[in-house]
A and B are shown apart, each in its own frame.
Chain A
Amino acid sequence: MGAEVDHICPTGMSGGSAEGNDKSEGQRFSCKNKLTALVVDNGGVCQIIQTGLLRSYGVETEVVETGEAVVELIASGATFNLIIIEMLLPVLNGPETARQIRAMGAQGKILGITTFFDERDQQEFLAAGADEFIEKPLSPEIVIPIIRGLDN
């Protein structure tokens, strides 16, 4: 049975995911402490994939669709170790969202994420209080070091 599955299993594929997933013992990477994350994206597919990835590493992950929702959450006292915010959101855009929650005292790591990398967007996001700015997709190569950093 195992042999057939190996045909389909992508372990033979090149591509960074093999190392990123830390599968040396057949175990998926998992965070040691209880970590929480918030995904802010108004696209269904992106939401699912980002939350799926974080949850697969043991990170308790919530998702909202708008900057306003994030502001509300933070205002109500919620805290997150990691907040991933899409650049282009309907009303309150990514950087403005980051700016507002930083002003409210949000201290977790903020990762700005976008579809088309743009230096001005990067500057805007970082100036607003984001710690990093990346282009989609959210990959293990990016997420695992962040989780490790938060874990320690």
Chain B
Amino acid sequence: MERNQMRRQLALMRQSFFDQGFLDEQFIQLEELQDDANPNFVEEVVTLYYRDSSRLILNIDQALERNPLDFNKLDNYMHQFKGSSTSIGAKKVKAECTQFREYCKAGNSEGCMRTFQQLKKEYAILKRKLEAYFQQARQAGPLETACRSRN
């Protein structure tokens, strides 16, 4: 596929992430930090996010199997999970984190478990979308994701 076409597709893909509420303006902050010195910053941070949070998800899954639930522990895990989700601009994931925390505070086990299933869904959807995005960006050539220090 011709490069210009690829870049246009990439731009549309990226725009859809914002339009459909998967990402918020914090993702733009990541893009702003990408430059010639850090040409793959966005992808690196997102990769780190998925690596770190997979561990957290495992911890939360295990914690949700306890009976009764340790809401304090769950809250602490979610604190960190929301922190990193917020930092990459994962808007829908962040919303589920907030919902989860509300159920934690209310001591609502059923709500926690239900919300966490939804959270994992959103998390997985975003992961697939971002992986496709970065793969296409690599194919389209290195200019795409570097927005800073261009004049």
The reply to whether B147 and A8 contact each other, CB–CB distance below 8 Å, is yes
Given A28-B148, A43-B80, A46-B84, the answer on whether A10 and B52 have CB atoms closer than 8 Å is no
Contact with B along A114-136 (1 / 0, CB 8 A): 11100000000000000000001
Whether the Cβ atoms of A44 and B29 lie closer than 8 Å is no
Contact indicator B25/A15 (Cβ below 8 Å) = yes
Is A35 among interface residues, defined by CB-CB distance under 8 A?
A: no
Shortest Cβ distance from A14 into B: residue: B25
A residues within 8 A CB of B151?
26
Q: Does A9 contact B (CB under 8 A)?
A: yes
Nearest CB of chain A from residue B79's CB, rounded to whole Å? 5
Interface size on A, residues (CB 8 A): 36
Nearest CB of chain A from residue B150's CB, rounded to whole Å? 6
Check B52 against A43 for contact (C-beta < 8 Å).
Answer: yes
Question: Does any Cβ of A come within 8 Å of B122's Cβ?
Answer: no
Most buried by A among B4, B33, B83, B146: B83
B86 in contact with A17 (CB, 8 Å): no
Interface residues of A in 1-42 (CB under 8 A from B): 1-2, 4-5, 7-10, 13, 15-17, 21, 26, 28, 41-42
Among A8, A28, A139, contact of B10 (Cβ-Cβ < 8 Å): A8
Chain A residue at minimal CB-CB distance from B144: A8
Residues of A bordering B, CB below 8 Å = 1-2, 4-5, 7-10, 13, 15-17, 21, 26, 28, 41-46, 48-49, 52-53, 56, 86-88, 114-116, 136-137, 139-140
Q: List 22 A-B contacts (CB under 8 A).
A: A4-B143, A5-B150, A8-B10, A8-B144, A8-B145, A8-B147, A10-B32, A17-B29, A43-B52, A43-B83, A45-B52, A45-B84, A53-B33, A56-B33, A86-B83, A87-B79, A88-B79, A116-B101, A137-B26, A137-B86, A137-B87, A137-B89
Contacts A44-B84, A45-B83 aside, 20 further interface pairs with beta carbons under 8 A come to A7-B7, A7-B8, A8-B10, A8-B147, A10-B28, A13-B28, A15-B28, A17-B29, A21-B32, A41-B83, A44-B48, A45-B52, A46-B87, A49-B87, A49-B88, A52-B41, A87-B79, A114-B79, A136-B86, A137-B87
